[in-house]
Structure 1
Amino acid sequence: MVDALFVAVRKAGHQPSVLAFKRKAPIRLGEAEGVRLALVLLATQPIAKHERVRALVAGINAMSVEETYYWYSKCMGLDGNRARKALRTLLAD
């Protein structure tokens, strides 16, 4: 998951060093990077096995921008729990 965070920060035009503990101001991300990062966090939240987390992150990073928007909208909708489970099943199994 940390790799996904670094990728989002780099794509937003920042150095990874902006992720300091002392930082008080928010880091501006582009919409597409923010959606991809949110999708990674939503999909990997309940997973404890590292190899499944890596598979989920790799699968989400391989998605097109349109695909990430689709899954983000599904995961944030009324049946979000079902969509997150479907996404985890699709990418990690």
Structure 2
Amino acid sequence: MASRDSEFGSPSAEDPDEDRLVRYGTSMFGGRPTFTLVRRETDGGAEWTLHELLPREQAEARRDRLERDGRSLSLTPVENLISDVAGDDLLSKLDGWTWDEWVGAKVARLDPTRVRALQDVVREAIEETPAETSEVLHGGEGFVFLPESAGIRLAVAFRGVKPLQRIDRMRSLARGVARMSDEECYYWYAKCRSPSSPNGEKALRVLLTNHIE
């Protein structure tokens, strides 16, 4: 994966507006972050929920395509995704972006067992971004915005691990995703979400876990 300096540039500390615009510079939406990862605490431990951030019209069109194929997609206004974990600090944590007519398309929610299995791949993905890993890797509740490349890597891991029951298979899948190039992650992300490829997630799990008896 690219280093933070090479991927996000070296913005001047004297120009906070420019800093905000280049921090998520891999995005197709003018530098805007395109994923958010939220951590919430439950009685059994931490849960993670990953959403892709999209203009409402684009998200609804994707949902319609999936529904025609018998699949579903949950959409939630962006500020509703994070308001409970951001609290009174919501405005500053929006990082200067406005999210009117944007929604989060849910990728997956992971329970505490799967959160533990994916700790390393999530840490490595977030460390290559402007986000603070402490927001979602340590105790308490929080969220991070993510650029496209990191979000897609996590989307592949989240969708792949979701139905697995054995810890060894979860960890094997996580290691496999961590070793993938960005190009491989984009390929599998497209396979996993495409209405025309309903077996994409199964193929990913076979590739990364089928060697385990």
* Length-normalised TM-score, structure 2: 0.40
How far the C-alpha of 1:21 sits from its partner, in A, is: 2.8
The equivalent position to 1:51 in structure 2, one of 155, 165, 168, is 168
Matched, 1:88 2:166: no
Deviation, structure 1 residue 15: 3.4
Higher helix share: 1
- Which shows bigger deviation, 44-53 or 26-35? 26-35
Is structure 2 residue 188 aligned with structure 1 residue 71?
Answer: yes
Structure 1 distance, partners of 2:174, 2:189, is 14
Structure 1 alignment gaps of length 5 or more: none
SS in 2 for 1:27: strand
Change (3 A) 1:83 1:92: same
State the alpha-carbon separation in 2 of the partners of residues 38 and 16 from structure 1: 17
After superposition, the Cα gap between the structure-2 partners of 1:59 and 1:21, relative to the gap in structure 1 and judged at 3 Å, is same
Shift of 1:79: 4.4
> Counterpart of 1:34?
151
- Residue 15, structure 1, aligned to residue 132, structure 2: yes
Match of 1:5 in 2: 122
Matching residue of 1:62:
179
Give aligned pairs, total.
91
Q: Which runs of 5+ in 2 are unaligned?
A: 1-117
| Alpha-carbon separation, structure 2, partners of 1:14 and 1:51 | 29
Report the CA distance between 1:17 and its aligned residue: 1.4
Q: Percent identity?
A: 33
Structure number, greater radius of gyration: 2
Give me the TM-score of the superposition, normalised by structure 1.
0.85
- Greater per-residue strand proportion: 2
RMSD of aligned Cα (Å):
1.7
Q: 1:2 to 1:9 in 2, by over 3 A?
A: same
- Aligned amino acid, residue 129 of structure 2: A
